[in-house]
Amino acid sequence: MTKRCIPDHIFPSSDEDAAYARDAISTPQTEHPAYRLAFQDLDFLTREDLRAVRFQLELLKPKLLLDEAKIGSTFVMYGSARIPEPKLADAMVDAVAGPQKHIAERLRAKAKYYDEARKLASLASTTPPDSDGQRQFVVCSGGGPSIMEAANRGAADVGSESIALNIVLPHEQAPNQYVTPSLSFQFHYFALRKMHFLIRARAVAVFPGGFGTFDEMFELLCLVQTGKVKPLPILLFGKEFWTRVVNFQALAEEGTISPDDLKILRFVETADEAWEMVEDYYDEPVGWKCEPTLLEVE
């Protein structure tokens, strides 16, 4: 049989059709929005009726790009956008007066966690790919400043790529400078963003934070508690902070959670301690189920 060149497809690609549409002869009909190709019509795509389609697109785009980048698993880091880098902490305190000074001093006291997040990200980012070339424990943050910046920065410190899941907010928010551009994503829906945080997560570090950090942390705790997500290392940095702002033990004593639910998380203070816990967790065939005492509250 004579060798023949058989095409992969016979229809024009979407890009080709889009180019044809752009070059269409200008008439009243072709200039009307109704004539636009549906996937090029932003007015159509942003209609209320298309919300379900936008959900699908926002779920699918990061998934495809992360699959193509061979991201097998992630180490997710949550935390405040307000905690300063240590070298800037003193300047922040000096810049304010009155009641705000006390708040600035409290934030300065937590500046050490910037360095711990940075170091933990560096440790996680040294994990080699698996036998299939899938990258493991790739650092993933919310892409913003402070603790999120420290996470991406730590990966950059050791020459590794890292992920950022940013979100459109009323005030300006841009990815921090240490995020890998090809792994920097922007979301419209909080729900889809939180889903992508956890789809590949195999360890999560939670640093002191506010409403956003609480939202992300408690959703994860609830998913593990209810069995919707398999157990994984959940590491809360700063026992003094967390036991002051959340009385986990009281929830158990009030009967609103089970005492066993307190075993879902651990408190840590340093990056070395956290990374050792993650390594130990995955060295055990059933993880922390071998270690029942995970939460100690005086």
The pLDDT of residue 287 is 52
Q: What is the mean pLDDT of residues 281-289?
A: 66
Q: Is residue 82 part of a domain?
A: yes
Q: Mean pLDDT throughout 67-94?
A: 94
Q: Is residue 167 in some structural domain? A: yes
DSSP of 83-148, one letter per residue?
PPPHHHHHHHHHT--THHHHHHHHHHHTTHHHHHHHHHHHHHHTPPP-TTS-B-SEEEE-SSSTHH
Mean pLDDT confidence for 84-107:
90
Q: Does 89 fall in a domain?
A: yes
Residue 6's SS3 state is: coil
Q: What is the pTM of this model?
A: 0.89
pLDDT in tens, 226-249: 999 999 999 999 999 999 999 999
Residue 27 lies in a domain: no
Domain count, the chain: 1
Calpha distance 57→138 (Å, rounded): 23
Q: Is residue 174 part of a domain?
A: yes
pLDDT of residue 5: 83
Mean of pLDDT over the chain: 92
For residue 2, tell me if it sits in a domain. no
Write out pLDDT tens, residues 119-165: 999 999 999 999 999 999 999 999 999 999 999 999 999 999 999 99
CA-nearest of 159, 123, 152 to 268 is 123
pLDDT digits (tens, 9 = 90+) for 19-32: 888 888 899 988 89
The rounded distance, in Å, linking the Cα atoms of 140 and 133 is 19
Range of the domain at 131: 69-290
Residue 298's pLDDT band, with cuts at 50, 70 and 90, is very low
Whole-number pLDDT of residue 288: 45
Q: Is residue 176 part of a domain?
A: yes
Q: Would you say residue 79 lies in a domain?
A: yes
The enclosing domain of 143 has a CATH number of 3.40.50.450
Check residue 172 and give its pLDDT. 64
Q: For the chain, where are the alpha helices, taking DSSP H only?
A: 14-22, 28-31, 42-45, 51-68, 86-94, 99-109, 112-125, 147-157, 190-199, 211-225, 239-245, 248-253, 271-283
pLDDT at 170: 86
Q: What DSSP element (H or E) covers 261?
A: none
